[in-house]
Structure 1
Amino acid sequence: MDFARLEKNIIDVIKEEQAKLGYRKEKIRLYYPLSSLNHFFQLDVDETGMQEKLSRFSEYEEGKLGSVEVTNKGERFCFHIPEEGAEYVHNNMKENEFIKDLIGLISHHGCKMQDIFELFRQHSDQITIEEMHSDEFDYMICFENDPEDTYRYCFKDEGCHIIYHRFLPEDYEEFGFGK
């Protein structure tokens, strides 16, 4: 079983959390729906099948995130990341990552969508910006042909501040945002 894509996502989420809240050597719990896990592995299995697939994840992560415990209640899976996992991510996080720049930008009052567009353009000349016709989000932005960042970033201007959410490409499509 290839766990690389799931591992990368977990590390990305921890990096995002540390960029927002700062680093603490602490246990972390991350929750994933079954549908997202199926997307990571290009599978279509039920809870039992996924639990079986994930039974070797802790062994895979032993040298990086530590002894990760995976539990589930129905289609909701919880990854219990030990303190070593938070420390591993902190010690291996690059200084000038895009997510840190994005969080820094949107945390300032007065941030405009044009500022966000420009930030993406500073990180790549190959981006896609799509206006969304949804109550939840105004724009989707993604990097084209970047194997390190395949997420769909969705933004909502709420007047006094801008919020965002990152989606896996498959989750973005499944939620119907791409239509």
Structure 2
Amino acid sequence: MTLEKHVIDTVKEWQTKIGTDDAGVRLYYPKVSMCGYLKLPVEEDSEKICQEAEAYFEKSVPELGHVTVTEKADRFCVFVSPEGCDYINLEIPVSEFLEGFLKVLKTQDMQQVRAYFQAFAKAHGTTVCEEDDEEDLGTVLSFADKDVEPYLYCVTDDQFGITYHRFTKDDFDTI
């Protein structure tokens, strides 16, 4: 997965869940993730990583406008401007999977969540991978074919209801 895809997917996910905002969006990445996306060594100087990330966005996705990248304590903040968020809102469609997943989450029924994953997998010629996470992240659901949906969903059903966290496989493996 590319940094561009991850940023656009995450902003689109937030817009789909909570609507748009004219203040821009800040996304935070640990150093190991940022270096992985940019194919830089983890030992790289933080200032250089910020410069490389900003140059990456300028070249790869100029439609987002100027994306600012800053660092504090090995945590990188990617700021997508209001103009960039508008571009994502207007030009990037909501993924079929995410739209359906967010609807089924409103049922607050874990069996329906599992059924949705199974039905989506069957409709797209793949299978669901499911496992319980030992780190209290709940049930981890994903698809065998990452082209269908590249993210892993950690779905927790507890006294607060059903919630989820979405990770790339690489980020999940670093938890």
* TM-score under structure 1 length normalisation: 0.82
Q: Matches of 1:62 and 1:160 in 2, distance apart?
A: 38
The DSSP-based 3-state class of the residue aligned with 2:66 is: coil
Q: Matches of 2:5 and 2:93 in 1, distance apart?
A: 14
Whether the 8 Å contact between 1:57 and 1:68 is mirrored in structure 2 is no
Runs of at least 4 residues off by over 4 Å: none
What residue in structure 1 maps to residue 76 of structure 2?
A: 77
* TM-score under structure 2 length normalisation: 0.84
Deviations 1:90-115 (A, max 9, x none): 1123256221222222134xx22221
After TM superposition, give the deviation of residue 147 of structure 1 in Å.
2.6
Q: After the TM superposition, which residues 51-90 of structure 1 pair with which residues of structure 2 at under 5 Å, given as runs?
A: 51-60=50-59, 63-90=62-89
Q: Matches of 1:143 and 1:21 in 2, distance apart?
A: 25
Q: Matches of 1:69 and 1:52 in 2, distance apart?
A: 9
Please provide the CA RMSD for this pair.
2.2
What residue in structure 2 maps to residue 13 of structure 1?
A: 10
Count residues in correspondence: 170
The DSSP-based 3-state class of the residue aligned with 2:62 is: coil
Task: Tell me: CA distance 1:95–1:57, structure 2 relative to 1, closer, same or farther (3 Å).
Answer: closer
Verify: 1:117 aligned to 2:114, yes or no: yes
Whether the 8 Å contact between 2:54 and 2:67 is mirrored in structure 1 is no
Q: Matches of 2:37 and 2:61 in 1, distance apart?
A: 20
- Greater shift after overlay, 55-64 or 136-145? 55-64
After TM superposition, give the deviation of residue 49 of structure 1 in Å.
4.3
Whether the 8 Å contact between 1:61 and 1:67 is mirrored in structure 2 is no
Deviations 1:27-81 (A, max 9, x none): 1111111111123234432324422422413422563211111111131111111
Query: Higher helix share goes to which structure?
Result: 2
Unaligned runs of 5+ in 1: none
Percentage identity across paired residues of the two chains: 29
Whether the 8 Å contact between 1:155 and 1:164 is mirrored in structure 2 is yes
Unaligned runs of 5+ in 2: none
